[in-house]
Structure 1
Amino acid sequence: MAQLPTLQPVSALVIHIMARATAVDALINRVQQRLDTTHPIHKEVVSVGGLGSVRLGMTIQEAANAAQISFVVSPLAQSEVCQYYLPEVYDAQKDGPTAPIDGIGVMVINDQVIRIDIGPGSPIKTVSGLGIGSTVEEVASAYDGQIEVTPNPYTEGTSLTLTPAAAGSNLYSLVFEADPQGKITQFRTGQLPAVTWVDGCS
């Protein structure tokens, strides 16, 4: 007569299954962390004074120290006095940048941060909760009576420029660029007149 295999107690099987499930969950978490490209700076908000801890008027090194990131010079068109910098994740253990941070450009003139651009795909919002994908109507409503709307010279869309009402803030502005359908595609904060330059540094 054939010998029947020894059956494991149900409790032992449950423990084995739970251990496997825990291992799978840990693996999924590690994969998600690698795929998650969101950086803490993406959770900061834009105001007429800057982006979170990165303030207008800082040097690019002061901005890097404040946000705990690195900056590299952009391949975009530059001039002798005006340059764009792009942020990267900084790894202190490796003592260098490890990955780009998308959707942010920093204009520097004479070694001072003059303007910060927020581009397509960025999750960054303004203090009023406006961002990529917001509408012209939402911008006008958030800044009631403080928005000047002008045609964009290169597209069929519009530029919406904020004139802050607060005393002492007339050196700075926010500019939103909208497509022909009235959706915000990019926006920026900066000192006047640089924040209004459609061509950036070129």
Structure 2
Amino acid sequence: MVAKVYGPTGAATKRVLLVLIEKGIEFETVHVDFTKGDQRYPEYLKLQPFGVVPLIQDGDYTLYESRAIMRYYAEKCKSQGVDLLGKMIEERGPAEQWLEVEAQNFHPFAYNLVIHILFPSICGVTPDPKVIEESEAKLEKVLDIYEERLSKRKYLAGDFFNLSDISHLPYTDYLANNMGKEHLINKRKHVSCWWQDISNRASWKKVLEHYRAPI
């Protein structure tokens, strides 16, 4: 069965596609154009009442929120493709933990930088130097913790590539390649090695070939 993925060419949609590719799941994408208000059409709101993306349809099953979709496919298809959760509960716990760290500690500050530097007009914000400065300072502290963690482990959750690494890829790509903030990654030896590892995976290159641009 082919998974149908609704979304713009954005970070959250890229997370979902990464999991599908790592799992070897066939998919098709349906572009939701925010500039035309596609997300507010009644047909879309029947599927996603909050009018956001991404959204997947897996046969008759519909699910939204990127990290929930990632967990769904990692669990449903755990016997195929790359194991993204861990075979033992002692591996899965850290994978879930660092997925939450990404959502609660990394994403908010990286997101602020992205919308204020890269896409202010698309997001309807006026670039605020104070928000940029504060967000970068807070992200520096988060990445210092990552640096210490990655000095002891190949990946954030342990020694295998997992959902938490996938969830970091889209916004770290913005930092490293699109907004003049590559120093945040490059000046940290272990964070830089981790980034080089995960950003060179074939799955990420396929996502970037599929589409690269706005959030």
| Bigger strand fraction | 1
Q: Which has the higher contact order (CA 8 A, sep 6+)?
A: 2
TM-score over 0.5 (shorter chain): no
Asked which structure has the greater CA Rg, the reply is 1
| Bigger helix fraction | 2
